[in-house]
Amino acid sequence: MKIYTDGGCAPNPGPGGWAAILLMGTHEKELKGGEATSTNNRMELTAAISGLEALKWPCVVDMHTDSQYVRDGITKYIRNWKRNGWRTASKDPVKNEDLWRRLDAAVERHSVRWHWVRGHSGDPHNERADELVHEARAELRRGADPARVPPHEIKAPRKRKKKAAK
């Protein structure tokens, strides 16, 4: 299983969108959602959480994110945050603690390998996730429920075309 995620706001903070693309074999599922007021980091976290929470059974997951904040937080810092009562090394409260707790719980169900992808560098799935983030934000601008664009599947699972053999 591979998951590609993205999230963002414009301006930051402001209307935000998130997206997750789930890939298993030849099947693909795209998810997106948004919030009327959020931050880039909250949307990046929500994308990863939503991707993992969409899985119906425990999986080995290659999680691809262009957010070093998310990747480093979950792989380097979360153990210490939990041990220190959700405080940073400088004793400040961890920002976005609610989402870090959700991500931690979602990760526990799976075996997740975290991969950082440089944003806007041509990776097709990262670029598609970015498009979905923009779509979610556009829904907010067009008058979708200002409290929240509900997370929803935007495309039924479909088979990807096989590459022609040379």
Encoded tokens for 102: 């959700």
| CATH code for the domain of 149 | 3.30.420.10
| 84 in any annotated domain | yes
| 140 in any annotated domain | yes
- Report the pLDDT value the prediction gives residue 122, as an integer from 0 to 100: 86
| 42 in any annotated domain | yes
- Report the pLDDT value the prediction gives residue 81, as an integer from 0 to 100: 97
* Contact in structure between 95 and 41 (CB atoms under 8 Å): yes
pTM score, whole prediction? 0.87
Residues marked active site are found at: 6-7, 44, 66, 120, 130
Encoded tokens for 158: 């479909």
Eight-state DSSP code of residue 26: T
| 164 in any annotated domain | no
| 143 in any annotated domain | yes
| 76 in any annotated domain | yes
Q: Which domain holds residue 155?
A: 2-159
Q: 59-86: string of b/e by CB count within 10 Å (b at 16+)? A: bebebbbbbeebbebbeeebeebeeeee
Given a cut of 70, the residues of the chain with pLDDT beneath it are: 144-166
| 166 in any annotated domain | no
- Report the pLDDT value the prediction gives residue 62, as an integer from 0 to 100: 98
- Report the pLDDT value the prediction gives residue 157, as an integer from 0 to 100: 43
Nearest CA-CA partner of 2 in 24, 32, 30: 24
Q: How many domains does the chain have?
A: 1
| 9 in any annotated domain | yes
CB atoms closer than 10 angstroms to residue 33: 24
